[in-house]
Amino acid sequence: VASGLVKVVAGQQGLTCPGSCFADAVGTDAKFNEPADISVSPDGSFALIADFGNHRIRRMDLSDYQVTTLAGSGTAGGDDHTDGLTATFNEPAGVAIDPKGVYA
pLDDT number for residue 83: 84
State the distance between the two ends of the chain, measured CA to CA, in whole angstroms. Answer: 26
**pLDDT tens for the 104 residues of the chain, in order:** 578 888 889 998 877 776 678 999 999 999 999 999 999 999 999 999 999 999 999 999 999 999 999 999 999 998 777 888 899 999 999 999 999 988 76
CATH code for position 55: 2.40.10
- What is the number of other CB atoms lying within 10 angstroms of the CB of residue 22? 18
pTM for this entry: 0.88
- The domain in which residue 58 lies consists of 1-104
pLDDT number for residue 70: 96
Longest distance between any two alpha carbons in the chain, whole Å: 45
Q: State how many domains the chain has.
A: 1
Q: How far is CA 89 from the centre of its chain?
A: 13
pLDDT number for residue 19: 64
Residue type, 16: T
